[in-house]
Amino acid sequence: MRTFSLHNYPGDSFNGHPKSYSLHRQAFMMRSLMALLICCLSLSPLFAQWIELSTGTNTMLRDVHFLDHEYGAVVGDNGTILLTENAGQNWQNVGDAISEDLSSVLIWNRDTLLVSGQTSGQSATFLSTNGGLDWLPVNEAIETAKVGLRILSCGYDTFDWSDDQGANWTPTEAIFGGTMLISAIDIADAQTATASGNIGGVGQYSFYGYRTVDAGVSWAPISTMDLPNSDAWTASAYPQADTLLVFTNEQVNFLPGPKNKLIRLTDFYFDTQNGTDSWRFNGEIISSATPSYVHDAAFVDSRMGYVVGENGQIYRTTNGGADWTSIYVGTTALQSIALIDMEIAYVVGADGLVLKNENLTSTLNPIAPNQLEVWPNPTVDEIRLKGVDLPATDVYLYSMSGQLIQTFTWRRGEAISLVGLPTGQYQLVVQLQRQRLSHSILKY
């Protein structure tokens, strides 16, 4: 019998019988098992059923937007524009006439779509009024967003707005540039939005943003004096109208570093006394160890939200961002997430990846215990899997806080060695084709 070590690679599952233990060890096992069962009843599983959709492309995908449950669009590099009319079952690329790396898509209706992106330092926005058959350049923007019946945009040096579905644009008086790049717009309500990005500093970029309360006609800077740190912005979202969450990264020599944080901005007020007419606020760090470099975030309400990031995982919070639980593990960087409703979400990323989940809240309920068996459990030095009807599959071991400890390939007939790991409780996650199942294990 070969064994598979988490520290050395290879092994072979198992066909033998359980080891015999001394009486005192059996008693300890029973106590540990009872503790494990009690703990498992209070824990939700880590992973729901995220299905990978076939897109026919391997390009980097950067944004996703759905008009309703059926009609949606995904955009990415080299002018990639994928449309679906059947909830992602089929996709049609309608971006052949565009070469820009697209980072934003906005669907007004089934005929009217806007996409924005950049190439060689030049930004561009394209409009289609016939469902993607033809595209016309209408503006120079990186991002567009809908606020009420108006469309807002931000580019390299200005904000614009349109009241005719993107055909014509009115520039605002807010002008920026130099080492500043504003690249995202987050909508709070029908009048309020924030535009976020970074400004160059000493050895790193730092968050910089603007805020509007008149649907984009005028913008004023967000005061950096109230920020609890000078880290770089990576993503942001409004869980509620007067609360902006800003995900940051502590850069090293202008490159992403290992430290990620989450800042909450609340109680905004306009200050005309500091010489710059800026938006002041109360700022606090609510998470000093956000688990990933976050590319995008989406919130259902003030407590429940989701983020995607560079490490290929999807995380969920149920307490407003203070804690995060991994609900999907992949190896491909994820760029954007769109929530259609409480149950349906789409995520896009590198290598043409589109993920869909139609049962988001199912991860709040326990997985049926007979779907995956892990034995012996509790264990001393190895575990074996039952119920995996595959010749080989990927298996992940997590700490109970959601930290990935090891990724490896399990093959039928192999045992998994836990030798060398500290005693304690772990979460084992097994990839079963298009779903992932998790099981708590106890090592002593």
Contact assessment for residue 153 and residue 160, using Cβ atoms and an 8 Å cutoff: yes
Length reported for the chain: 444
User: Identity (one letter) of the amino acid at 273?
Assistant: Q
In a domain, 73, yes or no: no
Determine the Cα–Cα distance for residues 330 and 187; give it in Å rounded to an integer.
Answer: 29
- The answer, yes or no, to whether residue 287 has pLDDT greater than 60, is yes
The residue-averaged pLDDT of 154-168 equals 94
The model's confidence at residue 387, banded by pLDDT at 50, 70 and 90, is confident
In a domain, 408, yes or no: yes
In a domain, 421, yes or no: yes
Among the residue ranges 54-63, 172-181, 333-342, the one predicted with the least confidence is 172-181
Q: What is the CATH number of the domain that holds 433?
A: 2.60.40
Domain count, the chain: 1
Range of the domain at 439: 3-45+375-443
In a domain, 223, yes or no: no
> Between 26 and 382, where is the model more confident?
382
Closest by CA position to 194, among listed 143, 156, 228:
143
Task: Give the DSSP letter of residue 77.
Answer: T
The residue-averaged pLDDT of 45-57 equals 77
What digits encode the pLDDT tens for the residues 231-245? 999 999 999 989 999
- The answer, yes or no, to whether residue 4 has pLDDT greater than 80, is no
In a domain, 68, yes or no: no
In a domain, 13, yes or no: yes
What digits encode the pLDDT tens for the residues 6-22? 333 223 222 333 333 34
Residue 20 confidence (pLDDT): 39
**For residue 409, how many other CB atoms are within 10 A of its CB?**
14
- The answer, yes or no, to whether residue 189 has pLDDT greater than 70, is yes
SS3 call for 281: strand
The residue-averaged pLDDT of 408-436 equals 81
Determine the Cα–Cα distance for residues 228 and 284; give it in Å rounded to an integer.
Answer: 6
Q: What's the Cα-to-Cα distance from 111 to each of 35, 115, 138, 167, 303, rounded to whole Å?
A: 58, 13, 16, 13, 35
In a domain, 323, yes or no: no
- The answer, yes or no, to whether residue 142 has pLDDT greater than 80, is yes
In a domain, 396, yes or no: yes
> Residue 342 — φ and ψ, nearest 5°?
-65, -25
Contact assessment for residue 177 and residue 167, using Cβ atoms and an 8 Å cutoff: no
Residue 289 confidence (pLDDT): 86
**Two tokens at 48?**
């729901």
